[in-house]
């Protein structure tokens, strides 16, 4: 069975969903950065800080 007989279908998510996910990620990163700044944490402290 060769690949020449079958076509590979590329599935693309709708643009609206991609935009929504990009905005959601930006919001999470923005809020995380604000919280770290408010608590006075350095670059890597936000990953290991045990509250």
Q: Residue 44's pLDDT is what?
A: 64
Indicate the pTM of the whole model: 0.55
Look at residue 49 and tell me whether its pLDDT is greater than 60: no
What is the DSSP code (8-state) at residue 44?
A: T
Residues with Cβ within 8 Å of 17's Cβ and at least 6 positions away in sequence, in order, are: none
Question: What confidence score (pLDDT) does residue 25 get?
Answer: 96
CA distance 4 to 17: 33
């Amino acid at each position: 069975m060769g690949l020449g007989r079958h076509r590979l279908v590329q599935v693309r998510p709708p643009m609206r969903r991609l935009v929504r996910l990009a905005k959601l990620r930006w919001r999470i990163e923005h809020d995380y950065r604000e919280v770290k700044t408010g608590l006075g944490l350095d670059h890597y402290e936000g990953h290991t800080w045990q509250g």
